[in-house]
Structure 1
Amino acid sequence: MNLIKVGFMGGTFDPIHYGHLLAAETAREACGLDEVWFIPSFHPPLKDNEPGADGSQRLEMVYRAIDFQPHFRAMDVELERGGTSFSIDSIRSLQAAYPDREFSFIIGSDRVNDLPQWHLIEELAQLVRFIGVERPGEPIDTSLLPSFIANRLTVIEMPLIEISSTDIRRRVSEGRSIRFLVPEKVYSFIKRNRLYES
């Protein structure tokens, strides 16, 4: 049986922006993925601050951002489960629900070095492969990783795009424009719901 190759992108997506979409499309093309699934976290374990938008709002922004792209899907598995969003729990449930899929994690170069700290990382590395998205100026040094991670990691290059959710939230709170940093449907959702305003 030929497995459908799926890239899994987790994160708060608070809000989702063009950098997320570019990373997903770069990984899809470079690694021959059939689909990329965006999975907003309920509460990410390695982040202290609470999301600025609630889970349903963040999921809705993901839906709005990807509605033009047939290879992208939004999944609410972590929001439905609640609690701390451990990737191992998500992969276990997704593999049980979708046995015809082969999953890879798509992660930014800034998070690759955090992989050894992930919950049950040795088991996770046996279940999935990792796709490290390397941005200009942020090289991934696989020699710093344990071999059980490095051997399951594919490093790909992504064009430089300096956009972050933190900066977008700050711009909104300061009354500055975020147009062209996020898809138009996400922009209108943020404006209509007055998200991130101080």
Structure 2
Amino acid sequence: MKKVGIFGGTFNPPHNGHLLMANEVLQSLQLAEIWFMPNQIPPHKQHRDIISAEHRFNMLQLAVNGNDAFRVESIELERSGPSFTYDTICLLKERHPDIQFYFIIGADMIEYLPKWYKIDLLQNLVQFVGVKRPNYKTTTQYNVLEVDVPQFDVSSSFIRRRLNEGKNIRYLLPDSVIQYIKEHGLYES
């Protein structure tokens, strides 16, 4: 059975920390691929700072370009309303019954797992993979495989703040994503 990692998020914008995390999980668990899955409306986040799904999808395509093991999965963008992981995984398993899915989450989401929609059913459909982040605990009652990833303490909100302040973001994102942000005037104050 093919083993595929699912890496969901807003990717607002996608950055080198996302790519590093995905690559480490891919190698550590010997997965065939990582599918980056931008969500439409995350149930746990404020929606006001999120740019269009089209821009986030395009930036992700640019970010993963050149890595044959990475691809962008648009399944959550095909639906309206909040993106609940349970619903998405049910659809993915229906479309790809021959794939074993590993759902990648950061330590911030490990702490949040008890609040996830239908978490008790979801944990039977996927293997959760948790990666450590500074200032978060990884202990949980749920079955989460931990993967050590070199710490790259950057977040999309940090990048948006830097862009808003006119500060340099070089080496935080792939150059192609930086170019896209500039060409489309994204995250400007």
How far, CA to CA, are the matches of 2:153 and 2:65 in structure 1? 23
SS of the counterpart of 2:123?
helix
- 1:95-125, Cα deviation, whole Å (9 max, x unpaired): 1111111001100111101011100001100
SS of the counterpart of 2:181?
helix
- Runs (4 or more) in structure 1 with deviation over 6 Å come to none
How many residue pairs get aligned? The number is 189
Q: CA deviation at 1:49?
A: 3.1
For normalisation by structure 2, the TM-score amounts to: 0.96
Alignment of 1:5-154 (within 5 A): 5-135=3-133, 138-141=136-139, 145-146=140-141, 149=142, 152-154=143-145
Contact 2:41 2:47 in 1 (8 A): no
How far, CA to CA, are the matches of 1:64 and 1:87 in structure 2? 24
Aligned match for 1:157, one of 126, 148, 157: 148
How far, CA to CA, are the matches of 2:159 and 2:135 in structure 1? 21
For normalisation by structure 1, the TM-score amounts to: 0.92
Alignment of 1:175-190 (within 5 A): 175-190=166-181
State the AA in 2 paired with 1:104.
Answer: Y
Q: CA deviation at 1:167?
A: 0.9
Change (3 A) 1:83 1:32: same
State the AA in 2 paired with 1:160.
Answer: Q
Q: CA deviation at 1:139?
A: 4.3
SS of the counterpart of 1:126?
coil
Q: CA deviation at 1:155?
A: 0.7
How far, CA to CA, are the matches of 1:37 and 1:102 in structure 2? 12
Contact 1:14 1:58 in 2 (8 A): yes
State the AA in 1 paired with 2:99.
Answer: R
Contact 1:136 1:158 in 2 (8 A): no
Contact 2:4 2:101 in 1 (8 A): yes
Gaps of 5+ in 1: none
State the AA in 1 paired with 2:163.
Answer: V
Q: CA deviation at 1:137?
A: 5.3
Which residue does 1:169 correspond to in 2? 160
Contact 2:108 2:133 in 1 (8 A): no
Report the RMSD for the aligned CA atoms in angstroms. Answer: 1.2
SS of the counterpart of 1:37?
strand
- 1:136-158, Cα deviation, whole Å (9 max, x unpaired): 554412xxx23xx1xx3101111
Identity %: 41
- 1:136-192, Cα deviation, whole Å (9 max, x unpaired): 554412xxx23xx1xx31011111111110011111111111121100110000000
